[in-house]
Chains A and B, each alone.
Chain A
Amino acid sequence: MEGNIVQMGQVIGAGLAMMGAIGAGAGIGIVVSGAVQAMGRNPDFAGTIQTNMILGIAFAESIAIYCLVVALLILFVGVS
Chain B
Amino acid sequence: MTASSDNRILGIKNRYLVLVLLIGWAVAYRIMPPVLMRIQLPAEELTHAVQLPLLGRFAFTNTMAAMLISDLILLVLAFSFSRAARAALAAGGRAIGGVSGAVEALLEALYGLTETNAGRWAREIFPWFATIVLVVLVNNWLELIPGVDSIGILHAAEHGFAVQATALGTTIVGAATHNEAGGLFELVPLVRVNSTDLNFTVALALIAVFMVQVFGIRALGVGYFKKFWNTSTMFTKPIFGVIDFGVGLLELVSEFSKILSFSFRLFGNVFAGSVLLFVIGYLVPSFAQTIFLMLEFGVGLIQAVVFGMLTMVFMSQAVVSHHGDEHADPEGAAAHD
Contacts and interface: CB of A to CB of B under 8 A. Distances in A.
B8 interface: no
Interface residues of A, number: 18
A58 B40 contact: no
A58 B41 contact: no
B310 interface: yes
B265 interface: yes
A62 to B, nearest CB: 5
Contacts of A54: 302, 305-306, 309
Interface of A is mostly: helix
B116 A48 contact: yes
A68 interface: yes
Contacts of B305: 54
Given A55-B310, A61-B265, A68-B268, A76 B41 contact: yes
Interface SS of chain B: helix
Given A58-B306, A72-B272, A65 B336 contact: no
B39 interface: yes
A69 interface: yes
B231 interface: no
Interface string A58-78: 110110011011001101110
B100 interface: no
A3 interface: no
Nearest to B113: A51
Interface string B108-140: 000001001100000000000000000000000
A65 B309 contact: no
Given A47-B336, A54-B309, A68-B272, A62 B265 contact: yes
A73 B267 CA distance: 12
Contact of B265 (A55, A65, A72): A65
B256 to A, nearest CB: 14
A15 B121 CA distance: 45
B313 A65 contact: no
A61 B272 CA distance: 13
B275 A72 contact: yes
A39 to B, nearest CB: 15
B170 interface: no
Given A51-B113, A58-B306, A76 B39 contact: yes
A64 to B, nearest CB: 8
Interface of B: 39-41, 113, 116-117, 261, 264-265, 267-269, 271-272, 275, 302, 305-306, 309-310, 313, 336
Interface of A: 47-48, 51, 54-55, 58-59, 61-62, 65-66, 68-69, 72-73, 75-77
21 contacts: A48-B116, A51-B113, A51-B117, A54-B309, A55-B306, A55-B313, A58-B265, A58-B306, A61-B265, A62-B264, A65-B264, A65-B265, A69-B264, A69-B268, A72-B271, A72-B272, A73-B41, A75-B39, A76-B40, A76-B41, A77-B41
